[in-house]
Chain A
Amino acid sequence: MSRLAAPLVAMLAALAIAPAALAADCPRTTLGDIEDEVMCPVCGTPLELATEAPQANRERAYIQRLIDDCRSKDEVKQALVAQFGDRVLALPGDEDSDFGDVLVYLIPGLGVVLAAGGIVVATRRWRRRGGGGGGPAAAAPTSAASGRLDADLERYDL
């Protein structure tokens, strides 16, 4: 009896361990990790913002099925592209590289540079006009003005 029990126990243990081992091999990704990087094609918004749209809910269910199937994030994205085309990808650079992707990064950078340049120019002009406490009130008096001031003071018995 005990000779039969030992292999049986070993087999049961192996069966119990197998799903855990499979889960360990499964790429760790979540719906939340993916839905901010893909679009809801019908809504025209990132999937995470489309909370009520029926198409978005179907897309979420599809992604969840793929995750449950142990697909990695990249594999899920590839499957979405196969279903909905490149436009389902929300992040620039996820699609085939094109000039649009470059512009997405270039335009905000250019905006920041232009804004910084504008601030520098405006600050210089403001200083030149005498802003910031460096105006006529703080300028050193000329010798003629000093003379007039002394004469005025002498007239008062202070």
Chain B
Amino acid sequence: MRRVLSPIPLAVLVAVAALVALLAYGLAENEPDRSFEDAAARGQREPAPDFDLPRLSGEGRATLSDYRGKVVVLNFWASWCEPCRTESPLLERWHRRLSRDGRATVLGIDGQDVSSDARDFVEEYELTYPMLHDGPGDLREPFGVLGYPETFVIDQRGRVAAVRRGPVDEEFMRQAVEPIVEEA
């Protein structure tokens, strides 16, 4: 029987196929997870992944379930992120407004950041809402965070009700956050 390919071209072919497979795997792995947004667009709410992180102040830890019963405006940020500077004063204003009757809170997750830089940022913008520190950025994957800042609105039952990629603004807070607080 006639041989179709000699071993060397076959080996080259296998190597090229392996490289293409590796590339495809890499692309598939980096595909952003938009399951929370997709569910919210369908009018459904997916449960938010729970987490246990140290407080940015260095004093103790906190979990998302500690806030169960409250609406949580979960804001992923970093001190090196320029758009985070524009949204921080707005988040602080809304936190003061929302937390007045204890129904909601803004919860900051400082990710992939030097904690001392983050503490300087908090001081500079006089942020009073609770802050947790996720140095390795472990929460990016379960929440499908693509960059900073991103905000997830979590209802009082711990489900993701709205997602904002990029800095929040007054419109988002009024249209996406306020109605969920009103439900509570």
Which residues of A pack against B, CB within 8 Å? 41-42, 54-55, 57-59, 62, 82-88, 118, 121-122
Contacts and interface: CB of A to CB of B under 8 A. Distances in A.
B: interface residue count bin: 10 to 19
A22 B74 CA distance: 46
A118 B8 CA distance: 8
11 contacts: A41-B136, A41-B137, A42-B112, A55-B80, A58-B79, A62-B116, A83-B115, A83-B135, A84-B112, A84-B137, A121-B7
Contact of B136 (A57, A58, A84): A84
Contacts of B114: 58-59, 62, 83
A60 to B, nearest CB: 11
Nearest to B12: A118
B33 interface: no
Nearest to B148: A42
Nearest to B79: A58
Contacts of A118: 7-8, 11
Contacts of A82: 135
B136 A54 contact: no
- Most-contacted residue by chain A among B78, B113, B116 (CB, 10 A): B113
B112 A41 contact: yes
A42 B137 contact: yes
B82 A54 contact: yes
A86 B79 CA distance: 21
Given A41-B112, A58-B114, 10 more contacts: A41-B136, A55-B78, A58-B113, A82-B135, A83-B113, A83-B135, A87-B136, A118-B7, A118-B11, A122-B8
Contacts of B113: 55, 58, 83
Contact of A85 (B11, B79, B116, B135): B135
Contact of B135 (A57, A84, A121, A122): A84
A57 B80 contact: yes
B80 A54 contact: yes
Contacts of B50: none
Interface in B12-58: none
A143 to B, nearest CB: 36
A118 B116 CA distance: 55
B170 to A, nearest CB: 26
B153 to A, nearest CB: 24
Contacts of A88: 136
Contacts of A55: 78, 80, 112-113
B126 interface: no
B54 to A, nearest CB: 11
A33 B136 CA distance: 23
- Most-contacted residue by chain A among B8, B82, B136, B137 (CB, 10 A): B136
A81 to B, nearest CB: 9
Nearest to B117: A58
B88 to A, nearest CB: 16
Interface in B93-117: 112-117
B103 to A, nearest CB: 34
Nearest to A41: B112
